[in-house]
Amino acid sequence: MMPIVPLYAALFGLFFVFLSVRTLRLRRTLGIAVGDGGNQLLLRASRVHSNFAEYVPISLLLVFFVESQGYPHALVHTLCISLLAGRISHAFGVSRTPENYRYRVFGMAMTFFALVAAALTLLSGYVRQFVA
């Protein structure tokens, strides 16, 4: 069976490019090369893009380690789908004005779930080696 994480990494890569192009187009339209120029739409687009760049790499790395340790495929899919749903929800929520915070909160909750669950899975596996 093919590894699972590369499939999701590809989807995250495409989503990252989408967020990048969206921000670049907005910068061009507004004539703002650096910063946000006080424009709320550009600030929101930049924060969605930056937040994605802050959370996705470490989360995917942790899930990759979970997969490489031989944990069940269902767990790996659950972690990846949670992260993907979280990032989509966060991007949708933060991009809206006025913002509906439910999307942002759900997005961060799903992101933290994936990150923390992957980290705890790895730590518990490591500890089990010494307890058993």
Domains of the chain, each with CATH number or no CATH: 5-131 (1.20.120.550)
Answer positive or negative: Cα dihedral of 29, 30, 31, 32: negative
pLDDT for 132 equals 67
Q: Quick one: pLDDT band at residue 100, thresholds 50, 70, 90?
A: confident
What DSSP line would sit under 66-128, residue for residue?
HHHTT--HHHHHHHHHHHHHHHHHHHHHHHSSS--HHHHHHHHHHHHHHHHHHHHHHHHHHHH
Cα separation, 1 vs 40, whole angstroms: 46
C-alpha distances (whole Å) from 52 to each of 47, 62, 100, 125, 127 are 8, 16, 18, 28, 31
Residue 119 reports pLDDT greater than 80: yes
Per cent of the chain over pLDDT 70 is 99
Low-confidence winner among 16-20, 26-30, 95-99, 105-109 (lowest mean pLDDT):
95-99
**pTM for the full model?**
0.92
pLDDT for 92 equals 95
**Are the C-beta atoms of residues 89 and 107 closer than 8 Å to each other?**
yes
**Are the C-beta atoms of residues 79 and 88 closer than 8 Å to each other?**
no
pLDDT for 60 equals 98
Mean of pLDDT values over 80-99: 95
pLDDT for 130 equals 87
Average pLDDT, the chain: 95
pLDDT for 2 equals 86
Cα separation, 129 vs 15, whole angstroms: 37
pLDDT for 67 equals 98
